[in-house]
Structure 1
Amino acid sequence: MFKPLSLFIGLRYTAAKRSNHFISFISLASMLGLMLGVAALIVVLSVMNGFDRELKQRILGMVPHGSISAYGKPIENWPLLVEQLSQHPDVVAAAPFIQAQGMLTSKGVVRGALVNGIDPVIEQHVSILGEHITSGSLEALNQQRFGIVLGDLLARYLGARVGDKVTLVLPEASVSVAGVVPRLKRFTVVGIFSVGAELDANLAYINLEDAAKIKRLGDGVDGIRLKFDDLFVAPKKVKEIAASLSGYYSSSDWTRTHGNLFQAIQLEKRMIGLLLFLIVLVAAFNIVSTLVMVVTDKKADVAILRTLGATPGRIMRIFMIQGTVIGVLGTLLGTLLGVTLALTISDIIAWVERTFNIQFLNADVYFISYLPSDLQWADVGVITFTALVISFLATIYPAWRAAKTHPAEALRYE
């Protein structure tokens, strides 16, 4: 079978068992280093993509993309305003809300919480809350007076289950014959939700009418929550919408509450990607050192080939092929390993946590309590292509040195 001479000799040098075992070891180490660097880069970027996805789908699925509120007073005509905002071309849905910060107490335990008054029917159009109810139901807020839905971690801290009573303590004080006392109201737990994030520890929901009575808003609400198709247009669009309404309205968006977290993830993804890219670069430099030693070891062979008529270009291609084979094998094995781990890393970590009874991500510290992974083939393509290019470029200098070998000098001491 016909083979180009450069390809034949290059592959033979790669597959041959060398007398110099140190060079063989360095070649293997170069390939393994490249493989591990590529695999690590794919896995870590997939995990960072997973965090980014969870932030968008879970955290930003629970908090408002944007909101409209009146300056210093409740919105009385909110049904008309909700209908008007829902017809805006950039708005997917709109829903009223009332917000109160207070403390929830149960069985002697006190926890701070952000309590949202919502309409359970309308809320499901702007939030993923209804999809993550693990016990009870969201609709029960309409069926029972002064019912409350708690986050999973918040319910655990309070030791509360569906059917138990919890007391809401609001910071607004009331003056009575006994003096100044805080405002208290007992609620019945009618549901528990879990989104696997920090929101589980500090968020609770009550019926919109109950919230209005507690805050003494009458028929008014604190604001209107908006959901957009593209959450990245929310900061700009919500300001435009607020400015276009008749009256004095202020606007807010998700970048004010969770924008720093999103930016931090994006920055960490870039920095970690850069650091792991340096690992791939170091592995490529190992290919350079491997080929330099191979060229030194094969000086006599190169001299004989030159004597037999091999051109400098052919000699250069021989060693470039050898280095490229190392780079291609390392990159492809690393890609295969990285893709496999990226697709299974969530299950592997979950198994480790169950087996050894440990928790890597605590929801009290991190915004989710499990390790997500989102393999994006575009990232895999960029990483693989970059590693192959770097591996190819790493072969140029050693191959050029081999092509510069003078037959007479190389054979002088043979």
Structure 2
Amino acid sequence: MTDAVAVATRAAPSEAGSKPFSVFEWLVALRYLRGRRSKAFVSEIAGFSFLGIGVGVATLIVVMSVMNGFRHELLDKIVGINGHVFLQGVETPLTDYDAVDERLAKVPGVKLVIPMIEGAAAVSSPYNQAGALIRGIKEADIKRLPGIAGHITLGTLDNFDSTGGVAIGQRLAESLALRIGDTISVLTAKGPQTPFGVAPRIKSYPITAIFQIGMSEFDSSFVYMPLTEAQAFFGKDGEATVIEAFVDDPDHMDEVRAKLDAVVGRPMIMTDWRQRNKTFFDALNVERNVMFIILALIVLVAALNIISGLIMLVKDKSPDIAILRTMGATRGAILRIFLITGTAIGVAGTFAGLVLGVLVARNIEGIRTFLNWAFHSNLFPSELYFLSHLPSRVEPGDVIAVVVMTILLSILATLYPSWRAATLDPVEALRYE
């Protein structure tokens, strides 16, 4: 008597025709997952299917989490220092920026409004020189700026307006070999008009603060100075060149833009973070979707292994199936037995991959640090990726989508082998036994 038949006998033959997914069907299905030594090849295929699905699910979760981390970190860094909405004056200089600031700050959903002077300049020290973006800003505003507040590594922003000093990024300070108290020279080609043409303007400022945003592009190029100093340096007395607004929900900009447009009270050009970074974030979303499709093929290959493993199992268990049919098992019961067998492999592999993927995704930076130490290399150079660490953000929606997709593929993979088992003719199966 075969193992499956013995199990069926112990489970009471009368259960063979009982309600679907009875104890009898579960016992036989789970017994088929443990291959006998003489027929171990079938169970080995099931094991490889389990591993394939587990690795596929874990890889999908890790990659999607890293891509989500990239988007969140880049959005947080870029928008955190640049704002969500940008307003620039047209027709007349933006000398009434305080009045515009007050009107915009009253709009529901707007949490911070900052008038600024922006201009490109060359910066230098006795040791090196570089290009920089100069930003003039009030002390009260720079202390509330999300990308700067809480990221001062050296010095202080206290008395920022009165000291006449500047705050520079960590990488720029390292590039110019500057420390707190040193002076940095700022040069712009748009100086005063002379009989011989426009003369460049150069002025030195003491460094009062050094910040580290965590995005190398910003840490190596931004210089903040008091608004009055920037107005004098760029010849914009009493003006602001841009007003930046930060909102509570940057993913729903259209509603906020309509409210801002209604209260701005003067001709202005309005853009938001989506327009300024559209190409960058569109490319990131396309890459994320393509990576999902490519890595989903791993799960699909593992699901195909379930099909091949179950077909071999059906051939191996043909005599058992025939005997079970003669004992009263219906075609539906046989179909469900093999459906349970294949689905069990998929579900077990899915949840094993889920646990592994979440663990790796939540500790990806520690793993990267260990690999850098073990192989004496830099697997994530910040100069290329603009971030000082490898980000990861596990989104419940993505995890659920991966788990549901994998389980559905596993169930679909079991349908054909299960149907073949259910339609097996007992007479033909036992003819040569």
Q: Which residue is 1:30 aligned to? A: 49
Structure 1 letter corresponding to 2:154:
S
Q: Which residue is 1:148 aligned to? A: 166
Q: Which residue is 1:128 aligned to? A: 147
Deviation at 1:7, TM superposition (A): 1.3
Distance in structure 1 (CA, Å) of the matches to 2:276 and 2:221: 14
Q: Which residue is 1:324 aligned to? A: 343
Of 383, 392, 406, the match for 1:387: 406
Structure 2 letter corresponding to 1:23:
V
Could you tell me whether the CA contact under 8 Å between 1:37 and 1:276 is conserved in 2? yes
Distance in structure 2 (CA, Å) of the matches to 1:263 and 1:131: 30
Distance in structure 2 (CA, Å) of the matches to 1:191 and 1:288: 64
In structure 2, relative to structure 1, the CA distance for the partners of 1:140 and 1:176 (3 Å cut) is: same
Of 260, 268, 274, the match for 1:255: 274
Q: Which residue is 1:162 aligned to? A: 180
Could you tell me whether the CA contact under 8 Å between 2:35 and 2:42 is conserved in 1? no
Could you tell me whether the CA contact under 8 Å between 1:126 and 1:225 is conserved in 2? no
Of 292, 304, 325, the match for 2:323: 304
Deviation at 1:241, TM superposition (A): 2.5
Of 95, 98, 109, the match for 2:128: 109
Distance in structure 2 (CA, Å) of the matches to 1:356 and 1:179: 58
Task: Kindly provide the CA deviation profile for residues 53-110 of structure 1, in whole angstroms up to 9, marking residues without a partner as x.
Answer: 2123222111121122212653212222211211122321211100010111123422
Task: Kindly provide the CA deviation profile for residues 126-145 of structure 1, in whole angstroms up to 9, marking residues without a partner as x.
Answer: 43312211111223522412
User: Which piece of structure 1 moves more, 209-218 or 232-241?
Assistant: 232-241
Q: Which residue is 1:71 aligned to? A: 90
Task: Kindly provide the CA deviation profile for residues 123-172 of structure 1, in whole angstroms up to 9, marking residues without a partner as x.
Answer: 33343312211111223522412x12111112221122211221111122
* Identity over aligned pairs, percent: 36
Q: Which residue is 2:430 aligned to? A: 411
Q: Which residue is 1:211 aligned to? A: 230
Query: Helix, strand or coil for the counterpart of 1:347?
Result: helix
In structure 2, relative to structure 1, the CA distance for the partners of 1:121 and 1:54 (3 Å cut) is: same
In structure 2, relative to structure 1, the CA distance for the partners of 1:245 and 1:380 (3 Å cut) is: closer
Distance in structure 1 (CA, Å) of the matches to 2:416 and 2:254: 51
Structure 2 letter corresponding to 1:132:
H
Of 218, 232, 254, the match for 1:199: 218
Distance in structure 2 (CA, Å) of the matches to 1:206 and 1:404: 81
Deviation at 1:181, TM superposition (A): 4.5
Query: Helix, strand or coil for the counterpart of 1:368?
Result: coil
Could you tell me whether the CA contact under 8 Å between 1:121 and 1:139 is conserved in 2? no
Query: Helix, strand or coil for the counterpart of 1:232?
Result: coil
TM-score, reference length from structure 1: 0.93
Distance in structure 2 (CA, Å) of the matches to 1:349 and 1:124: 33
> Does residue 367 of the first structure (1) align with residue 395 of the second (2)?
no
Deviation at 1:118, TM superposition (A): 0.5
Matches within 5 A, 1:392-403: 392-403=411-422
Task: Kindly provide the CA deviation profile for residues 152-208 of structure 1, in whole angstroms up to 9, marking residues without a partner as x.
Answer: 112221122211221111122556699865221112121111121121122111110
Q: Which residue is 2:40 aligned to? A: 21
Query: Helix, strand or coil for the counterpart of 2:203?
Result: strand
Task: Kindly provide the CA deviation profile for residues 337-395 of structure 1, in whole angstroms up to 9, marking residues without a partner as x.
Answer: 11111111122213333555533333332231211111122322222222122212211
Matches within 5 A, 1:221-370: 221-234=240-253, 237-238=256-257, 241-242=260-261, 244-354=263-373, 356-370=375-389
In structure 2, relative to structure 1, the CA distance for the partners of 1:322 and 1:272 (3 Å cut) is: same
Q: Which residue is 2:59 aligned to? A: 40
User: Which piece of structure 1 moves more, 168-177 or 33-42?
Assistant: 168-177
Structure 2 letter corresponding to 1:163:
G
In structure 2, relative to structure 1, the CA distance for the partners of 1:366 and 1:119 (3 Å cut) is: same
Could you tell me whether the CA contact under 8 Å between 1:239 and 1:251 is conserved in 2? no
Could you tell me whether the CA contact under 8 Å between 2:100 and 2:264 is conserved in 1? no
In structure 2, relative to structure 1, the CA distance for the partners of 1:41 and 1:171 (3 Å cut) is: same
* RMSD, aligned CA: 2.2
In structure 2, relative to structure 1, the CA distance for the partners of 1:202 and 1:284 (3 Å cut) is: same
Could you tell me whether the CA contact under 8 Å between 1:63 and 1:127 is conserved in 2? no
Distance in structure 2 (CA, Å) of the matches to 1:235 and 1:66: 11
Distance in structure 1 (CA, Å) of the matches to 2:46 and 2:37: 11
Deviation at 1:209, TM superposition (A): 0.7
